[in-house]
Amino acid sequence: MLLFAMGNKTIINITTGEKLGFLKYCDLKINENEGKIEALMLPKGRLNAFFSHQDEYIEIPWSAIRKIGTDTILVEL
């Protein structure tokens, strides 16, 4: 699956049931030395991208992703 096709997926924390936001607003934290994705960087704020400051992120470790479904990405934080 291409990242573009995943953009509208909702990210949900399965620990709290909270909707964290949408994948399309995420940045990736990449370890350049190892060439691996370390985390999704999701902007905080009501609409994720529009009301947040660049330094306010929810860091979702790549290892916290539990399931990528049709409409959602389930993470355990």
Is the distance from CB of 20 to CB of 75 less than 8 angstroms?
A: yes
What would the DSSP string read from start to end of 2-19? Answer: -HHHHTTPEEEETTT--E
Our count of domains for the chain comes to 1
At 14 the pLDDT is 98
What's this model's pTM, rounded to 2 decimal places?
A: 0.80
CATH assignment of the domain containing 51 = 2.30.30.240
Q: Which domain holds residue 41?
A: 3-75
Rounded distance, CA 69 to CA 6, Å? 10
Considering only 9-13, 50-54, 71-75, which range has the smallest mean pLDDT? 50-54
Q: 65-69: which pairs have CB atoms within 8 A and are 24 or more residues apart?
A: 65/40, 66/14, 68/1, 68/6, 68/9, 69/9
